[in-house]
Amino acid sequence: MQGLAGSRSAAAEVYGGQYELAVEKAEEIFFSVATQVGRYVITMMSSGVVLAVGFQLSGGDSQTDALIWYSWLGGVIIGTMLGANSVLEEHCKAGPRNVVITGSTRGLGKALAREFLLSGDHVVIASRSPESVLQTINELEENIQEGLSVAKKKQRETLLQAKVVGTSCDVCKPEDVKKLVNFAVGELGSIDIWINNAGTNKGFRPLVNFSDEDITQIVSTNLVGSLLCTREAMDVMQYQEKGGHVFNMDGAGSGGSSTPLTAVYGSTKCGLRQFQASLMKESRRSKVGVHTASPGMVLTDLLLSGSSLQNKQMFNIICELPETVARTLVPRMRVVKGSGKAVNYLTPPRILLALVTAWVRRGRWFDEEGRAVYAAEADRIRNWAESRTRFSFTDAMEMYTENTWVSVFSLSVVCAFIMLSSSGGPFPGT
């Protein structure tokens, strides 16, 4: 009797455990569906409100009022289809990517590597010095472990997939680059994303004060290195089933505006932009996508070397920490499609925000004497797990794919115009 009771309770426990698991899973699915639905409802409503307000202000009558709502419905339907498409695609393409990042033992490269690892990707670290590569790998592995200790279940699964390896590589040496490619293919099997992040600047001064070695190093890292790496990466990727994506990093001068005091750096970056255009033409029929990534202004050694008090005050307004930038860039790099995309951090809304809040941003990174007031990297990383889970408005905005925004708004407007014009225009006053 007792034994029976015991087994029954055990059975009940097992059953109860299964039940709880099922409930938990259902809850999870329900929650994610609800989030998606909620997101769309909000988008649709807001577009409807905008339309309604617009037409109300322009003095619409009852007939146009009906048309507004028809056009809004049209916009909602098409927007939903496009949005669903992008969500599905994102879902199907989930899974670890194999990423190679050059110059990734410090600054933005390291932040990018960390962010890719957090998304559960496999990352190859590369830099000139073997010691710093080793050190970075250890550090990043520690980061993963720390992340695992605080991560929730779902994030845990992705984090467990993360893997970081590395090798030393001087990007201006062809044989080194070939070695890096072979290493990456050997370790990971294929390369999905290649980021040409290695770049150097050597401080701010007129060209006449740069030494031969400085100029040689800037040119060979920024230009020779990027070209060699791009070539090798494309060479591997074009034979891969899924193709691949190469990113070149923009910098000051990319847009073609002059860069006095960093003439060498600027002109290499400007040349790279033209190179990107040529590549797009060359690789039109290939499976390899070539893109640019623009991190904006990042608080790294490259920018801070030789900066003065005044530009530090400027940095307060527009600069960002490498982690922040990487957090925005990486999700977009992971889902990039086609070729010739530009993944930018400093988008117009962000610039606007920075200018509007300029006053608040005084003293954000540097105080009045130009001393850094932001935490050292190690401290920043310590708080990184919590900060990721914290809700941020700009990130929430970013979560909507641009497609959804653009399609909902533009299509509503287009529909409105089509309906207005097809209704024959029996409006009073026209």
Partner 1 sequence: MATVAASLPLRAAARAGPAPSRLPSDAAFFPGRPWQRGLAARGRPREPAGWFRAEALSGGGGGGPPRREPMAPPYNVLITGSTKGIGYALARKFLKAGDNVVICSRSAERVESVASDLKKEFGEQHVWGTVCDVREGKDVKALVDFARDKLEYIDIWINNAGSNAYSYKPLVETSDEALIEVITTNTLGLMLCCREAINMMWNQPRGGHIFNIDGAGSDGRPTPRFAAYGATKRSVVHLTKSLQAELQMNEVNNVVVHNLSPGMVTTDLLMSGATTKQAKFFINILAETPDVVADYLVPNIREIPTKQSMKPTYIRFLTGLKAYSRIFSRIAFGARRNKYVAED
Residue from the set 73, 165, 185, 318 that interacts with partner 1 by CB under 8 A? 318
Does residue 251 contact residue 263 with C-beta atoms inside 8 Å?
no
Q: Pick from 91, 152, 153, 281: which binds partner 1 (CB under 8 A)?
A: 281
Stretch near partner 1 under the rule CB under 8 A, chosen from 53-61, 186-194, 276-284, 420-428 = 276-284
Contact flag: residue 311 with partner 1 (CB under 8 A): yes
Nearer to partner 1 among residue 118 and residue 223 (C-beta): 223
The answer to whether 255 contacts partner 1 (rule: CB under 8 A) is yes
By CB under 8 A, residue 22 contacts partner 1: no
CB of 164 to partner 1, least distance (A): 28
The nearer residue to partner 1, 257 or 430, going by C-beta atoms, is 257
Cα–Cα distance for residue pair 392/385, rounded to 1 Å:
14
Kindly list the distances between the CA atom of residue 242 and the CA atoms of 15, 268, 380, 400, in Å, as whole numbers in the listed order.
44, 31, 36, 26
SS3 157: helix
Residues 346-405 that bind partner 1 (CB under 8 A): 346, 351
Q: Which two tokens stand for residue 361?
A: 């941003």
**The two structure tokens encoding residue 57:** 């202000």
The size of the interface with partner 1 (CB under 8 A), counted in residues, is 67
Is residue 235 involved in binding partner 1 (CB under 8 A)? yes
Q: List alpha helices for 93-195, DSSP H.
A: 107-118, 130-150, 153-161, 174-188
Catalytic residues: 265
Beta-bridge partner residues of 164: 123
Sheet with 342-344, side-by-side order of all strands: 163-168, 122-127, 98-102, 193-196, 244-249, 288-294, 342-344
**Which stretches of 209-349 are assigned E, i.e. beta strand?**
244-249, 288-294, 342-344
Verify binding: residue 314, partner 1, rule CB under 8 A.
yes
Beta partners for residue 245, in sequence order:
193, 289
In the complex with partner 1, the residue whose CB is nearer, 156 or 350, is 350
Position 279 contacts partner 1 (CB under 8 A): yes
Per-residue x/- marks for partner 1, 161-200, CB under 8 A?
-------------x--------------------------
Site mask for partner 1 (CB under 8 A), range 198-227, x = bound: ------xxxxxxxxx--xx--xx--xx--x
Residue choice 145, 274, 383, 389 for contact with partner 1 (CB under 8 A): 274
For residue 112, give the nearest of 291, 324, 315 by alpha carbon.
324
Asked if residues 314 and 97 have their Cβ atoms less than 8 Å apart, the reply is no
What distances in angstroms separate CA 24 from CA 17, 29, 148, 346, one per listed residue?
10, 9, 20, 40
Minimum distance, C-beta of residue 237 to partner 1, in the bound complex (Å): 10
- Which residues contact partner 1 (rule: CB under 8 A)? 174, 204-212, 215-216, 219-220, 223-224, 227-228, 230-231, 234-235, 238, 251-264, 266-268, 270-275, 277-282, 294, 296-297, 306-311, 314-315, 318, 344, 346, 351
